[in-house]
Amino acid sequence: MPPRIPIETSARHIHISKEDFETLFGEGKELTFVKELSQPGQYLAAEKLAVIGPRGEFEKVSILGPFRSKTQVEVSMTDTRKLGIPGIIRQSGDTAGTPGCILRAGEKEITINEGVIVAKRHIHMRPVDALQYNVKDNENVFVITKSYERNLIYADVVVRVSNQFQLAMHVDTDEANAFASDAEPYGVIVKIFDTESYSVDKWMEEVLRGINRI
Ligand SMILES: [Zn+2]
């Protein structure tokens, strides 16, 4: 039977390159481990940074380890308004052409020219979970969530399959508030169409023309 998918809320955070980290915190300095996160190998670091945009800033934004090849800042749509930058929805790592920002630690600061994204909502799963849900890596799916008085069906949820993952769906704070998640929120994938590829736009057009496929 397909498993429940725990839904975890990602607050704004930073993945940082070793080079950028050393520029801000000193040569040879390493991230200070605080606690493990749900995905194996990922952890919360003690170091924090201010994220600064043209209109506003957030202080004490958490850094998640380990180091990545490129620095990436993940914020919510609401956060991008406060920073004064466009909100660009991307999968993690796909940062070409995204807005930049200033990152500051104490007296030191760096400017990144790109890398501020609103993370596309996604599900981490192992191959066995993908088999049970009959989904593939990179497939977009619908997820039904359960909530007190605010049930929500998410569209455009991308599935990521790897042996390195632990089953979890990741949403940002805006998305979590949209369904008013309770203590232990979870969701399930539903196949609304029998084909693998679907388009919400096409679905809407069909309904407006009086065609109902479900
Ligand atoms: Zn994730």
Instruction: Give me ligand 1 centre to Cα 91, in Å.
Output: 9
Instruction: Give me ligand 1 centre to Cα 160, in Å.
Output: 9
Q: What is the pLDDT of residue 196?
A: 61
Instruction: Give me ligand 1 centre to Cα 101, in Å.
Output: 22
pTM: 0.92
Nearest by Cα to 11 from 188, 176, 178: 176
Instruction: Give me ligand 1 centre to Cα 54, in Å.
Output: 27
Could you tell me the residue ranges of all domains in the chain? 11-119, 121-208
Instruction: Give me ligand 1 centre to Cα 130, in Å.
Output: 16
CATH number of 121-208: 2.40.40
Q: What is the pLDDT of residue 13?
A: 98
Q: What is the pLDDT of residue 214?
A: 76
Q: What is the pLDDT of residue 3?
A: 94
Q: What is the pLDDT of residue 197?
A: 63
- Rounded Cα distance, 73 and 51, in Å: 8
Q: What is the pLDDT of residue 179?
A: 86
Tokens, residue 45: 């670091």
Residues, Cβ < 5 Å to ion ligand 1: 170
Instruction: Give me ligand 1 centre to Cα 193, in Å.
Output: 25
Q: Could you read off the pLDDT tens digit of each residue along the chain, which spans 214 residues?
A: 899 999 999 999 999 999 999 999 999 999 999 999 999 999 999 999 999 999 999 999 999 999 999 999 999 999 999 999 999 999 999 999 999 999 999 999 999 999 999 999 999 999 999 999 999 999 999 999 987 788 899 999 999 999 999 999 999 999 999 987 777 899 999 987 766 667 788 889 989 999 987 7
* Cβ within 8 Å of residue 45, ≥6 positions away: 31, 32, 33, 34, 62, 63, 64, 65
Instruction: Give me ligand 1 centre to Cα 211, in Å.
Output: 36
- Rounded Cα distance, 84 and 54, in Å: 6
Q: What is the pLDDT of residue 195?
A: 66
Instruction: Give me ligand 1 centre to Cα 110, in Å.
Output: 26
